[in-house]
Amino acid sequence: MNSEGNLRKKEPKGIYKVGLIGNGYGYKELLPVLKSINALETTFALPRKYTAEQYKNYMNLGVKISNFADILENEEIKLIFVAVPPKAQLELSKKVLVKDKSLYCEKPIGISFCEADILHRLSRNAKRKSYVGFQFRFDPGIVALKELLQIKQLGTILSTQIDWHTTGNSAINDQFNWRNDINNGGGVHRDFLCHVVDYLNWITDGLFCSSLESLSVDTNFNSNLLDIKLISLNSNPGSIKINISRGKISISYWEIKLTFDSGEICLRSTYPFLLKNYKTVVSGSKDFCSIVGEFLNNNKYLNDTTGVISAREYALKAYFNKVIDNVFQNGKNTLPTLDDARFTQKISDSIQTTL
């Protein structure tokens, strides 16, 4: 599979004007992807404070430079990407919707369910569309897993275990980083868990909704902002265990293990999370292994042993192209919404009360 070629074929035609605000993740991760989409003309909003050296770098970005206020007033810009820390997401996103522009906001959407709910209710009255940065729905490995679960012969899922462990040392050592402040939307229970809850709910078509809503801190482990173990109190249709940590290991990875009546599937991706880094392990009955093995051998997402672009880049570009299609070409793609963010934030709120 030529990943870059496949993505390029899906790009919409025309030139569409979008804005971006976000000096961290937005500047480092989202902007390069937006620049790579030929159909877009991106205007980057300068942060409120910056050094002379940073300003020099901004001027060499190869995109238009402005400020957030002017981007809001620019009638030609119909879509704005908001990639700021959770504490500022509600305020800035409200301004986007009030100006009758479509919104793409990074997860988790504010610092609580209440803030996500406020934005959701506002978006329902707005004329434009709103989307949330749950890009794992477009991660090739997650997409492949969703396709695999459509095979009914696999049987019933008895248990699910998610392990997601990252290095994150720079953030841990920075006392001013929002990820270390529970009052600013920090903690892996909100920063990372929202992705896991969203993609589990998505790949199972809502089958895990009740189990996810019953997630609770494992009382046998001393969970905290950087290291958390969760279990589902509702085991119907199957038990769920989620282990997330930041700054505890030397090599980042995530792993999904699904146990069925007659076998087990394990999907793993390791830093630097390239398309060629997916690993799958299958065990169980002969029929189970045969069904899964045939799927894996023919799956375009898990067969790319040469892909050198990152899964994140792949996912973001695939997602952004669908957002552009919906906003500018009246597309009907089903994408992550603010209602999905309400669901994940409600679970994070419940867990936060026990930390």
Q: What CATH number matches the domain at 137-310+344-352, 3.30.360.10, 3.40.50.300, 3.20.20.70, 3.30.470.20?
A: 3.30.360.10
Q: Quick one: pLDDT at residue 1?
A: 36
pLDDT score at 5:
39
Question: Is residue 191 within 8 Å of 180, Cβ to Cβ?
Answer: no
pLDDT above 70: residue 220: yes
pLDDT in tens, 56-66: 888 888 899 99
Nearest CA to 318 among 39, 25, 33?
33
264 three-state secondary structure: strand
Q: Given this model, what pLDDT does residue 177 score?
A: 81
**Separation between Cα atoms, residue 326 and residue 54, nearest integer Å:** 34
pLDDT digits (tens, 9 = 90+) for 235-284: 777 899 999 999 889 999 999 999 999 999 999 999 999 988 899 999 99
pLDDT range class, residue 306, cuts 50, 70, 90: low
Residues 204, 260: Cα–Cα separation, whole Å: 14
For residues 308-336, average pLDDT: 94
What is the distance between the alpha carbons of residues 355 and 119, in angstroms, rounded to a whole number?
26
Over range 172-187, report the average pLDDT.
79
β-strands 40-45, 64-66: how paired? parallel
What pLDDT, on a 0 to 100 scale, did the predictor assign at position 194?
A: 97
Average pLDDT over residues 118-127: 90
169 pLDDT above the threshold of 70: no
Per-residue model confidence (pLDDT) at position 3: 38
Classify strands 278-284 and 102-105 as parallel, antiparallel or unpaired: unpaired
User: Which has the higher per-residue pLDDT, 306 or 103?
Assistant: 103
Q: Which two tokens stand for residue 157?
A: 């899922």
Quickly count helices (H) and strands (E) in the chain. 15, 13
The pLDDT, as a whole number, for residue 2 is 39
So what's the pLDDT on residue 7?
A: 42
* 103 pLDDT higher than 60: yes
Residue 149: pLDDT band by 50, 70, 90 thresholds? Answer: very high
Mean residue pLDDT of the chain comes to: 91
Query: Any idea which fold 3-133+317-332 has?
Result: Rossmann fold (3.40.50)
The answer on pLDDT for 16 being more than 90 is yes
For residue 304, the model assigns a pLDDT of 66
pLDDT in tens, 323-349: 999 999 999 999 999 999 999 999 999
131 confidence band (pLDDT: 50, 70, 90): very high
Domain borders along the chain are 3-133+317-332, 137-310+344-352
Exposed/middle/buried for residue 147 (C-beta within 10 Å: 0-12, 13-18, 19+): middle
Q: Do domains 3-133+317-332 and 137-310+344-352 have the same CATH topology?
A: no
pLDDT exceeds cutoff 60 at 121: yes
Tokens matching residue 55: 């300003």
Dihedral angle of Cα 206, 11, 31, 342, to the nearest 10 degrees = -20
204 — pLDDT class (breaks 50, 70, 90): very high
Note whether 246 and 231 are within 8 A (CB). no
**Amino acid 309: pLDDT:** 85
Asked if 110 and 86 touch (Cβ cutoff 8 Å), the reply is yes
Question: How do residues 271-289 score in pLDDT, each as one tens digit?
Answer: 999 988 899 999 999 999 9
Q: Which has the higher per-residue pLDDT, 306 or 255? A: 255
What is the rounded average pLDDT of the residues 304-333?
Answer: 90
